A and B are shown apart, each in its own frame.
Chain A
Amino acid sequence: MNLSDVLETTKKEPHCGMCKIDFLGTGVCPAGKKHGFVAYWPEGRMELARALAENEVEPTETLIDIVNSCNLCGICDRQCYFITQRRPTQAQQALKDYVKTLKPNTFKPIPEDEIVKDLRSIVGNDWATNDPIIIASYLRSIIKQKSSGNFYIVMPRSTEEIVAIVQLANKHKIPYLPRGNGTFFGVALQTLLAELCSIEQGIIIDLWRMKDIHVDPGSFTATIGPGITSFELQKAAHAHKLRANVAEAESCVCANAQNLGIVTTWSNTYGWGTDNFIDAEFIDSTGTIMHLSDKDIPNPYASAQGLLSLSLIPSVIVTQLTLKLHQILDDEEAIFIPFTNLSDALDMAHNLAKRNIGISLAVLSRKYLTEFISPTHEIAEDFNYIAEKYLKLNYIVDVICDKYHKKIIEELAEVTFGHSMIKSLILGSSKLASMKESSLLKMIAEEEDPLKAVFGGPMRKHFEKGLAASPHELVKVFDEDLRDFFEKLYSKPELTDPVWLHSFRILPCRMERKHMWMYRGGYMPGDKETILKVVDALEKPAEKYHIEGAFGFLSYLERGKLAHLEYDYYYDHADPDARKRLNKAIVESWRRQFAIKGVTPLEFICSKGLHRKEHILYPFPEGLSEEDLVHFEELIETLFGGEDAW
């Protein structure tokens, strides 16, 4: 197999980082676990296969070691297939075949310069490198494609080592940038934000080795190192019947805390930002260790609003975080309220938020529901079509609550469904997709209120029965050699348990299986009028530039006073024209969002996650005036050049 045979796949590598966590109980790539550098993980091998095929890097001797370290055990195929339907072993096989064509002893030696020597003296020989092959595996997930800078990768194990690395970077006057699991970079580096958030030369501090974790059930807290992912923290917390407020499974919690403050569907109850952080240890740009609880640190909560407050580079490196954990109740259950209109869904969700009903509470779109629970993108598309055309199911108010709140919701809502229906939809999604033209669905569509008919009326039984939901049926859509594995996997109760899925969030990366996406949205007052204006402000640019745009999810904060909206733009990041259109849509969406009073676009929250929300979201910003918008255009041009440069 040639590298060019797998180029279509490797070009679309999204760097979702899921193959670095053991979310299916398979274990993780043994080579990655041993060597740490991204090059030894499936995502890095994908990137290397692409970079070699596109002549962006020359092989070095280390490539042989990377390739030989993989024994094609297939763990990555199961993990990656579950998320993206990709099979990294194909790229790995292509790399194996490629290295066979290389003549031995023809590799250029890699000069060991002063900086790499010093880095090795800090972290040990195995954990610092300037090898171009290892550096290339970080392309598109912290380094911009076609960067010509001098880079070093270092993997520290302790706070003291990071201090020494920062001081070394300062001594040599070179930049440094921490990397958690690289997933934010994976999304942002494909866009015009790349320049603002990437590193153009210098030291990449890969934090994967810093995996200390301690749960203290007595004080309902956990203290973690910056290499701990959301999945790993949630697993440790659940062992004590506690829950952490964490976002998608693969993100490093410290990165997410610093970056976006961690907003989730649980935020109306558990809060956001420092609501959950008890203390943080961090290192400033001089290499000084500080704590959020120190009396004499510069006010960590103060933050300017406005356009120049945009900062996609962290000003500190979080080396330890102590977070609150929350109790899990015995009677937690999922309850879903289906809607055709966003306006109605917002009314219901806001009503629940104001009353503090629901531990987790969000408005979820049809797009998320169908993409997350379907085993393949094709099935998700059919499911999406069926939901829209026949079921008139466009939004869901998605709640996890106790049995008392469940009763109240059932009183307030005309139609609801729960665990059993979601299980049927997950395991029956392939059958549902095959029913696209069925008479049952046509009959449902003719009902006066199809949602009521399917989820609340007499048809519910027929509908659920028609789905013939079972792991055995579901896995028929998978590659044959993977079916046994997936049948066993889908037989595990957690894979169809909505409460578990909301806590562990192993499904959101499925957004990346067909196309790349870019977050839009942000924070705003929780009133419906503002939210609908923002949705419109995000929809219009997508339409104008022919980018697929879709509502993602909306969660309330502070009993409905505030709302966080994620709306997504989907595009093919391997297509330069699509990237250009995306960038134009991003700029236009900023322009439109800034004109609305009270709105802070998501990018403007970046690097402020350790702040109190009171200091960054209040007072609600005024919408920009016409004159401000002119300056905004000028700032964009200064930062990114004219439209042609995007």
Chain B
Amino acid sequence: MVKYLSEEWAAQAKKKVLDELDQTKDLKNMNASLLNVVQNVPPDQKTMYFYIRFVDGKLEELLASPDESIKQKNAEFTITGDYTTFVQISSGQMSSAMALLKNRVKMTGNKIKAFTITKPIDTFNMCIKKIETEY
């Protein structure tokens, strides 16, 4: 069991995605970078950052950190929401597209491109939900 958004969790998540998902079939050779801004993380309601970057469907980077400097990576998409919503997304209870359409998260970035990567991002979330995680 690893703590959600901890370094260990990030390492396990990266390994799982690299081991289990096919770059073409599952991740559709996508090129995209996303910064998730997770607000109100318990116990002290801090903000955590969770950054992912794919190149041709390969997960190049997956980082989770409380350090704001991660913003300098200039992700193509920034998705901001509450901790409880990100728990729902990462545990597979709600797709990120559903969270977006239900106004549970806010997104900046090109919506037309976002529309083309909803499926591979969903596949990514379905994969990491299998990590035994303590939320």
Contact = CB atoms under 8 A, between A and B. Distances in A.
Given A635-B119, A638-B119, A173 B98 contact: no
A306 B112 contact: yes
B103 A315 contact: yes
A628 B116 CA distance: 8
Contacts of B115: 306-308, 628, 631, 635
A638 B103 contact: no
B25 interface: no
Nearest to A316: B103
Given A308-B114, A313-B102, A639 B82 contact: no
A501 B27 CA distance: 56
B16 interface: no
The B interface, classified by DSSP as helix, strand, loop or mixed, is helix
A118 interface: no
Given A173-B82, A308-B101, A638-B118, 12 more contacts: A196-B102, A306-B115, A307-B115, A308-B100, A308-B114, A310-B101, A312-B101, A631-B118, A634-B119, A635-B118, A639-B95, A639-B101
A285 B101 contact: no
Interface residues of B, number: 20
A175 interface: yes
A631 B119 contact: yes
Given A639-B97, A639-B98, A306 B103 contact: no
Nearest to B119: A634
A285 B106 CA distance: 11
5 contacts: A173-B83, A308-B100, A308-B101, A308-B112, A639-B98
Contacts of B116: 631
B111 A308 contact: yes
A459 to B, nearest CB: 55
Nearest to A175: B104
Contacts of B82: 173
B103 A285 contact: yes
4 closest cross-chain pairs (CB), A and B: A634-B119, A638-B122, A308-B111, A308-B115
Contacts of B100: 308
A312 B100 CA distance: 11
B111 A309 contact: yes
A310 B97 CA distance: 10
B81 to A, nearest CB: 11
A9 interface: no
Interface size class of A (residues with CB under 8 A): 20 to 34
A637 B119 contact: yes
A304 interface: yes
A631 B30 CA distance: 13
A436 B34 CA distance: 66
B84 interface: yes
Contacts of B40: 173
Contacts of A304: 111
Contacts of A311: 101-103
Select the residue from B104, B114, B116 with max chain A CB neighbours within 10 A.
B116
B80 to A, nearest CB: 12
A195 interface: yes
Interface of A: 173, 175, 195-196, 285, 304, 306-313, 315, 628, 631, 634-635, 637-639
A637 B118 CA distance: 10
Contacts of B97: 308, 635, 638-639
Given A196-B98, A635-B119, A638-B122, A173 B84 contact: yes
B62 to A, nearest CB: 20
Interface of B: 40, 82-84, 95, 97-98, 100-104, 111-112, 114-116, 118-119, 122
Nearest to A285: B103
Select the residue from B84, B100, B103, B122 with max chain A CB neighbours within 10 A.
B103
A638 B95 contact: yes
Contacts of A309: 111
B111 A313 contact: no
A33 B72 CA distance: 57
A630 to B, nearest CB: 9
Contacts of B98: 195-196, 638-639
A528 to B, nearest CB: 30
A285 B97 CA distance: 19
A590 B114 CA distance: 19
B60 to A, nearest CB: 23
Contacts of B84: 173
A558 to B, nearest CB: 26
Contacts of B104: 175
A195 B119 CA distance: 18
A618 B36 CA distance: 32
A173 B85 CA distance: 9
A639 B100 CA distance: 11
Contacts of A173: 40, 82-84
A638 B125 CA distance: 11
Nearest to A309: B111
Select the residue from A196, A307, A628 with max chain B CB neighbours within 10 A.
A307
A588 B102 CA distance: 22
A196 B118 CA distance: 16
A300 to B, nearest CB: 15
A413 to B, nearest CB: 45
A306 B119 contact: no
Nearest to A315: B103
Nearest to B40: A173
Contacts of A175: 104
Nearest to A312: B101
Contacts of B101: 196, 308, 310-313, 639
B29 to A, nearest CB: 14
Contacts of A306: 111-112, 115
Contacts of A638: 95, 97-98, 118-119, 122
Nearest to A197: B102
Nearest to A170: B82
Contact of B118 (A195, A285, A313, A634): A634
B112 to A, nearest CB: 6
Nearest to A172: B84
B16 to A, nearest CB: 20
Contacts of A196: 98, 101-102
A628 B100 CA distance: 19
B18 to A, nearest CB: 22
A311 B97 CA distance: 11
B122 to A, nearest CB: 4
A309 B100 CA distance: 10
A489 B114 CA distance: 56
A514 B129 CA distance: 45
A196 B116 CA distance: 19
